[in-house]
Amino acid sequence: MSAAEEGTFTALRTQLQEAAAAFAGGPDALEGLLLGIVDDVDRALREPLEIFPVCHHSPASALAMARRLREKQPKVVYLELCEDMAPLLTELRNCRLPVAVQAFASEVDGFPADWSPLSVVAPVTEASAEYQAIAYALDTPGVELVLVDRSSDHVFQWDARGTDAAEPAGPDAPAEEEAALHGDAVGVELGDLRPRFAELEEHLLRHGRVRHWSEWWHQYVELPLGESDHDTYRQVMLLIGSLFRRLAPGDPRRVRVDEDRERHMWTRMREHLAATGTDPADCLYVCGAFHAASRVAEFGVDGADTFEITPRTATTWQHGLIPSSHAAIEAQFGLAAGSVSIAATVWAKNVRRSGVEPFRLAGQAGTKKKAKAVMAGPSAVDPAVPASDRLSGFLRRPPVLDRLDEAELLGWSVEIVRAARRNGYLASTADAIAVFETSILLAGMRDRAKPTPYDFQDAAVTCIEKDTVPGRRDVRRLVEIMMGGDRIGQVGYDALPPLARDVHDRLAPLGLRLQQRGVQRALLDIAARPDLEKCSDVLWMLRYLMPHGAARPIMGERRLGERPIQESWDLALGTHQRALIELGYEGVSIEQVLEQRLRRTAYGPQATTAVVLEAVEDATLHLRSRRLADELGTRALEVLATERSVDGAPEVLRRVRRLLAYYRTSEPVLPPWIESFVKTGYAHYCTLLPTAFTDEDATVRQVAAMLGFLFSMEGLALSLGCDRTQLELAVAQSHPGEPAKVALLWAAQTQLGSLSRAELRTRCDELLANPLVVPAYPRYLSGFLHALEPAPALADFVVESVSNAFARLPDAVLLPWLPTLITTLRAGGAELAPMLIREAGRIFPARLDALDSWVPPWRVQPDPRAVRPARPGGGGRGVPLLAAHPAACDAVAQLLGCDDAWEATAQGPGGVALVHAHPGTATALEALLVTS
């Protein structure tokens, strides 16, 4: 170190040694700490490659950056940002800030599978030094922008999941949807300046008389540096970075990651300098003040080349721009609510006051076009000459008392009262005066000559918000909106991925501004304009793929085998632009993404038969792809064969019925997979039926769904080669103990024919006659109600069972279990109640006056003496006809293998005479058929 370099901070070192001796009583660790901070600043200032320390979203940093770029005009700008995000920066000109540069990976290779999807975002606002550097480099000919930070892949290689994520937001963080624009992405904060030592931060907040870190930074760093020169700004920012680094190292794992990032950045810069031969004096290194005060061996142009950058994993990363917002940045990085909006306001004020022309990308959305500023020539500062000591004067100088701007404060007071009245508060002119005076009072109590926006916010809450919040927004939120609001960015059409642009193009016939935020109503009269059916297809796919609210149908539905006529939609694609952009990372069209999603769902480890059948239905509904439906249907068959539970039986039954109905009406033959599914399902559920009847975990609804599958698919299953004996044996082997399942078993036996209706009616009568069983009778009725799924013909019997209970039981017994009956039927068979109600409406009289004389059909006793008149002409008329034309009968006999000869036609009535002689059997049969 030369004598000139040693003398730069000699006076400051002497003062710090004296202060350490006075406070600590002699040389100790305090002296080493203070002198070490000065050494860090001196080391960074002596580096041939100029280091420009910044703080993320700091107006003072942005202003100093714009001023320095116009003075120095560097040929190369090294920026602390993920190196794989460089190709996206040119697309910032097609966006309205704030936006975030995103790296996204939906499928991981080299990371744990439960980390998927991986996402890294780096938000960019206009009031940030990074944006100034990007705009300068991209719009200035001959200037190269080089990103030197670790890649997105290394973010997850080096960190445990979430290490780089900021601390959770405080209790006053905004809870609106804008705060979730970044989702659960890992944030890369450019210029991280926040103490990681809780005691240090608490000490600064307490002695600074502020509530949170954002307010401390605004008061003690942002305002003093807003009008400082370049040398003072650099030295102060380096001092702060070194102070936080030495006093609060934080989590050792995080410190190790930070040091690896610094080694990575200096390694990349040395590689670039060696490859291009650029003079370090023509370069500018933009990084956070924390990293600018680095002490790693690789620091500097002449640092050690000992750091080896590991190769990236095989994970495929997609890159794009997503909309961001002030609230999303605050929520992700643990800033106080409203701090980024206040920073944007301070930035605009600094630009007007200082006269510095900021850099803006040509064609940047949301900014006014201005004449290109004439840049001054490069500064004649010799980098070999060390900067003068500006720290001593800055640290000794008392705070500058900014004169109170009464007009500004009065305007704030009037505006907040007006906003409060619009939101339901009973505010008046007196409240405006109170807010004005209280703001000045609070600033004085906090040793401030001029109230800050935070003082004004506290005063407004104290004076206006009394007991309750009448509207959706409280006064604190109203102040944030008044100070600039939650500005939300937007990605322009040209910067969207191909999938998002394709969606906008295909929905163009709707005539809506789809990039606009908010909800828009789309009306589709498909009958009058058939071309809108393609828009309908896109909307239904977006409804499936995007979050709730992005595309919400108001009128119209999509069912198998139906064509749309008219539809009405509420669209909010602009609000959910991030979700639409992330779809573009998964494919080039929404059809491709939907097919991938359906396959992923069907072949997932948690996929059940019902889930796979739902995927089959969705593939048919949205994609109309017979190929994909057949593939997923085969997968459903595989999953069914491996299932050992009946949890999804109701959903399986519902979806198989719907698919069968669709294929029978739209296809000439059934697909092979569904025939195999019915055949396999018949044998599968027959096997599980006895166990399900006795299993306590299997509900009545699930067992009823199994029986519904077996009985409703029986005809198709038998035609495919199944044996009905399987079902009969399964029912015979079932021995349930729960009343509802017992009733369900009786219904199944009745459907099979092994239990007659008369026997079933007798069993129910015995239940009602037994006082010990009467309290459980509602559960039997619940079983009968679920039996309508496999045996809908029993609807009249269920009505009869309920009616008998109401007719026979006394009020003392009926009234106590009536609530149990209602709750049981509502909870267990609400979807089957309409069938029961229709049957009751058919049986009971339609008029009230006919009820007194009405006799239930199950109580009608047939007259055994009534005999139907014999058919005139006698019987056996068909026998002479067969004898006269024997060809048809001979063909059937030959087909059946009968070789018997024809017999002579019997004379007389034959068997009919027996019926006339003994009419009792026929009469009893007639009565049974009429009553049943």
What are the pLDDT digits (tens) for 770-794? 888 888 888 888 888 888 888 888 8
**CA-CA-CA-CA dihedral for 921, 925, 931, 932, to nearest 10:** 140
Indicate the range of 74-78, 394-398, 871-875 predicted with least confidence. 871-875
- Confidence at 368, pLDDT banded by 50, 70, 90: low
Specify the 3-state DSSP secondary structure of 746.
helix
Residue 649: is it exposed, middle or buried by C-beta count within 10 angstroms (0-12/13-18/19+)? buried
Under 8 Å CB-to-CB from 909, ≥6 apart: which residues?
Answer: 874, 875, 876, 916
- pLDDT: which is higher, 167 or 600: 600
Q: In what order do the strands lie in the sheet with 118-124?
A: 186-187, 118-124, 99-105, 318-323
Encode pLDDT of 717-750 as tens digits: 988 888 888 899 999 998 998 888 999 999 999 9
Residue 738 to residue 757: CA distance in whole angstroms: 21
Does 117 sit behind a cis peptide bond, omega within 30 degrees of 0 on the bond before it? Answer: yes
> Is residue 171 over pLDDT 50?
no
How high is the pLDDT of residue 646?
86
- Confidence at 834, pLDDT banded by 50, 70, 90: confident
Angle (nearest 5°) at CA 281 between 280 and 287 = 70
- Confidence at 376, pLDDT banded by 50, 70, 90: very low
Task: Determine contact, residues 800/759, Cβ cutoff 8 Å.
Answer: no
- pLDDT: which is higher, 830 or 529: 529
Specify the 3-state DSSP secondary structure of 763.
helix
Encode pLDDT of 582-599 as tens digits: 888 888 889 999 999 999
Encode pLDDT of 267-285 as tens digits: 999 999 999 998 988 999 9
| Token output for 614 | 């739902």
Residue 691 to residue 891: CA distance in whole angstroms: 48
Q: Which amino acid is at 559?
A: R
Specify the 3-state DSSP secondary structure of 524.
strand
Q: 186 has which bridge partners?
A: 120
How high is the pLDDT of residue 341?
79
Encode pLDDT of 189-233 as tens digits: 544 545 555 666 676 666 667 776 677 777 777 777 777 788 888
> Is residue 388 over pLDDT 70?
no
Under 8 Å CB-to-CB from 786, ≥6 apart: which residues?
Answer: 700, 701, 703, 704, 740, 744, 828, 829, 832
How high is the pLDDT of residue 12?
57
How high is the pLDDT of residue 398?
56
Under 8 Å CB-to-CB from 180, ≥6 apart: which residues?
Answer: 328, 331
Q: Which amino acid is at 197?
A: F
How high is the pLDDT of residue 588?
86
How high is the pLDDT of residue 38?
77
Indicate the range of 301-310, 340-349, 714-723 predicted with least confidence. 340-349
Encode pLDDT of 854-878 as tens digits: 777 777 766 555 545 555 544 445 5
Residue 337 to residue 884: CA distance in whole angstroms: 101
% of the chain exceeding 70 in pLDDT: 80
How high is the pLDDT of residue 382?
46
Angle (nearest 5°) at CA 767 between 787 and 699 = 35
How high is the pLDDT of residue 33?
61
- What pTM, to 2 d.p., does this model score? 0.70
Encode pLDDT of 116-168 as tens digits: 788 888 888 888 888 899 999 998 999 999 999 888 888 888 765 444 443 43
Which of 230, 205, 242, 194 minimizes the C-alpha distance to 16?
242
Q: For the chain, what is the mean pLDDT? A: 79
- CA 216, distance to chain mean position in Å, is 35
How high is the pLDDT of residue 11?
58
Encode pLDDT of 634-676 as tens digits: 999 999 988 888 888 889 999 999 999 999 888 888 999 999 9
Indicate the range of 449-463, 553-567, 680-694, 918-932 predicted with least confidence. 918-932
Encode pLDDT of 461-509 as tens digits: 888 887 777 777 888 888 877 776 667 888 888 888 889 999 999 999 9
Indicate the range of 24-28, 320-324, 427-431 predicted with least confidence. 24-28
Indicate the range of 400-414, 790-804, 834-848 predicted with least confidence. 400-414
Under 8 Å CB-to-CB from 695, ≥6 apart: which residues?
Answer: none
Encode pLDDT of 89-113 as tens digits: 888 888 888 888 888 888 888 888 7
pLDDT (average), residues 48-60? 86
